[in-house]
Amino acid sequence: MLKLFMFILLGVVSQQVFSFSDVQEKGYLRVAVYKNYAPFSFRDDGELKGIEVELGKLLAKKLGVDPIIWAISADENMEDDLRNSIWKGHYLGGGTADVMLHAPINKAFSEENDKVIFSNAYFQEETVAVRHNAHSGKPLMKVFADHKIGVELDTLPDFYLVGTMGGRFRSNVTHYLTVEEAIQALKDGDVKSVVAPRSQIESALGANSSEFVFSPVSMPASYQATWSVGLAVKQGRDALVDKLTVAMNELKQSGELSALFKKYNTSYISP
């Protein structure tokens, strides 16, 4: 029985060691980020840029390997993204990443997705409403009731505004394919407010953000108006998680993480 226990223990240890040694042997860390998701990852004249693109490179540097940044498309839900990018791979091929960024850090979600290790929350996102300073004196609900509201189609703000208060604001909700399009409509005067994640709004506004006021949006708990994001790694790769944890802590303590958000004109909110 003791020999069997030692065999199992050694097997677990060797698996954990391999979970990082394979990264060392390859000489690179493959990092999955979402494509077309400014300010976190986006193309600028063909070059992949963004907060999480640079974060992936910094993590790889801390681990002493090269970065390979893999821009992935969002599937129907986060469970699909994790399956395709982390623990199984897409049926069309392409392999998997060593780590995926912008993964939700939520206890219930983590328990439902036990093939993945979620760790290292590094940013808290929040849903806000933005409007021009000229309308800042008007109660937010009054703005929603009297004027057009821009939202990205099929997102949490969309579902909330269409259904809340018995559909009171439904006729004023104007749909756009992206947050960037909704913000352009706000600048053009086609809508009086936009409801979306703060980071995406700030990115779309750019240098003009001082001309606008941001307001929190009160939502039922089921809508989760604020949430934290962190790292996702395949279950069993505990040694890699440990190395990433050390690296992430160093980036937080040095100020390099918050500096990335500042570089892209995005407020850094610690989780």
Q: Helical H runs in 153-229?
A: 156-163, 179-188, 198-205
Task: Give pLDDT, residue 42.
Answer: 96
Of residues 213, 201, 218, the one with CA closest to residue 141 = 218
Domain range annotation of the chain: 14-124+228-263, 126-223
Q: Which CATH class is domain 126-223?
A: alpha beta
Give CA–CA dist 184/2, Å, rounded. 68
pLDDT tens, the chain, 271 aa long:
544 444 444 444 334 434 678 888 899 999 999 999 999 999 999 999 999 999 999 999 999 999 999 999 988 889 999 999 999 988 888 889 999 999 999 999 999 999 999 999 999 999 999 999 877 788 999 999 999 999 999 999 999 999 998 899 999 999 999 999 999 999 999 999 999 999 999 999 988 888 899 999 988 877 788 999 999 999 999 999 999 999 999 999 999 999 999 999 999 999 9
Please say whether the structural domain 14-124+228-263 has been given the CATH code 1.10.8.290: no
Q: Do domains 14-124+228-263 and 126-223 have the same CATH topology?
A: yes
